[in-house]
Structure 1
Amino acid sequence: MSVYKHAFVRSEMTAPRPAPQKASGLSHWLRVNLLATPKDVALTVLALALLAYSLPPLIQWLFIDATWVGDGRAACTTISQGGVLPEGTSGACWAFIDAKFQQFVFGRYPADERWRVLLVMAMFAALLAPMLMPKAPLKGWNALALFIILPVVSFFLLGGGFGLAHVETQLWGGLMVTLILSYFGIVVSLPVGIVLALGRRSNMPVIRMLCVGFIEIIRGVPLITVLFMASVMLPLFLPDGWTFDKLLRALIGVSVFASAYMAEVIRAGLQAIPKGQFEGADSLGLSYGQKMRLIILPQAIKLVIPGIVNTFIGLFKDTSLVSIIGMFDLLGIVNLNQADPTWATPVTPVTGYLFAGIVFWAFCFGMSRYSQFMERHLDTGHKH
């Protein structure tokens, strides 16, 4: 007993230790993220040096030397180029963006009818906002209005219905077409992708082979090929006198392409579900539809939210490829307006592409941040 007491029982109090360092605030964040190790310090100093070297001339070109107002190319060119700016002070031509902004948004849609586009955008925003709120009431009715009623109403409003003047889709363009293609592709690709993923895992050989063939064929060709097929070759298989609108062909091509990629994302989520979840659902006597709808798919979709949103972001950016088949989305309409001799300057193309890049980045960044919010909201597996 004396040996035990001598070995394991302390006879003196330990010396007090220093108080822990502050674990919050700016200084803690800098110390942990930027100055934790000598390598981090070196990389931080290098990054700050690069920013100090590149930011001042970039800010100078974007804002200080930029032209914000003007009626033509003379406002954005130097004296030697036939303009009014002093030599060496030519910056971004934001006056070009201001002059062409409505075309960038509406394309060649008639100016006196653009209120119809604004009305559709307002309805879309009003229905989308509560859909993105996890605790908003009446989700079912909201989804019905957003995914079923709104597309039908928008078709008649934009194309010409309810006694309104007809506007051909060849006149549609700009951000409007980008949003239409993205919205339709997202709405169609998710449910179709789920069906294809379930079909690929089906026990019925015919259904499995059809789904595998569809997915592998579509994923094996670039989107440009799919768009050409939908725009050029699809009408060849239709009866005489039948035709499809060019916008509808683009919608079909984009949706088919996105659905194949979405199917593989959903399949990855299904394969990540433990076998016990399937067996537990079977032991409860649930049918195949009930098992998938109530047990398996909610867990699988939650697991692959980053992959789903990544597919949506890729789809949103890939809509710019429709310019290949003669449709003018946001990037296409920017390219079209750069050929306007009234605004032909050395900085006009760069400014136009910069504007398009900012718009694409804003939408993609918004989708990315919302997906992170949903991941945190649905992450209930490790809460205590």
Structure 2
Amino acid sequence: MRYSIKLGSPWIACHFEPYDLVSGTYEKVEDEEEEVYETVNVFKLKQFLPNLRVVNLWGVPFINDDHVDAISSNCAHLECLCVNYCTKVTGSCLRLVLQRCRKLKSLFLAHTSIVHLSLSTSQAISAHLLIDSGLDNATIKAIEWEKTRIEELDVKGTELSSDTLISLLTRLPHLRWLDASWLENMTDQVLEAWLQSGALANLQFINLDTCDSLNEQALTDMIVRHGPQLHGLCLGGQHKLLEYFWMNMIPQLKNIRVIVMGIAEDCCPKVAAKIHVDQFIDCIAQNCPRLTRLEIRWDDDTLRFSDKSSKFIDVLRMKCLKLHSIVLSDGQYYELVRSNFERADRMSVVR
């Protein structure tokens, strides 16, 4: 197994324009292959890229804080730095990076080894910080989040404590996008404190997938208060959220673009009640005209539908004209929805 760094210009996330960037990827090389993979010398590379806007070093195993520090030393225009899965990055470089790169908008630190980091910088970061695991609670609390302009935050799958989550979320008044999925410590108390802080005023997208510590009432309070402003809502993996919850909450989501509901097939034994999917479809069609993506994870054994379901699917197809993706579990209902859209020459919608 050998690795290389590749240069390219792909799209970064969905909110950024394409820039020249350094992209780190895994390259598996068989012994019989004769191709030579060269490793880019980051220390030499930096002097040729003073106008670099985006650096993506995702998964490059040899990248450490020295490399990140070297890049930042000559990239004053840097807006996005990604070191996801770079396990040798500890975060000791971040203070200098934030001081040098005043235009930094995006910082991806997924699965890095950030420990014992002390930050008190007040640089304004105008977009988002993505942090995925290995984070130290004291580190997160020490950062002056209220002095940043973070709009998008991903803390999925981390071991951050409830106190740290409260400290973090309540100090992000500009937050627009949050992925807090797979957080054991995302509790009702965290959500309540966040609501009380008023920091959800600009929130448009939120992912709380498989946050088992959250209860129906806490999520109901959030959607009732902030549902009309939401463009994306993922509450998949929540076995407590069934038909009653969604039928009451969907009318609150007038501007929603993306909805994810239900739990995956292998989790469905947790759901004892049947889900009347036709009611969901009709309710969505009547209340969510801007919907572009719908994901329903319940399988055929959990969903209740009939031959008349096609009429409700027709209404959805005609009312939600921007809908370009419906994700369903494989089964009879999937075949029913797919055939309906295919008859209308919309071949790529259902998957």
TM tier relative to shorter chain: under 0.3
TM-score, normalised on structure 2? 0.26
Higher relative CO (Cα under 8 Å, sequence separation at least 6) belongs to: 1
TM-score, normalised on structure 1? 0.24
Could you say which structure has the higher strand fraction? 2
Over alpha carbons, which structure has the higher Rg? Answer: 1
Could you say which structure has the higher helix fraction? 1
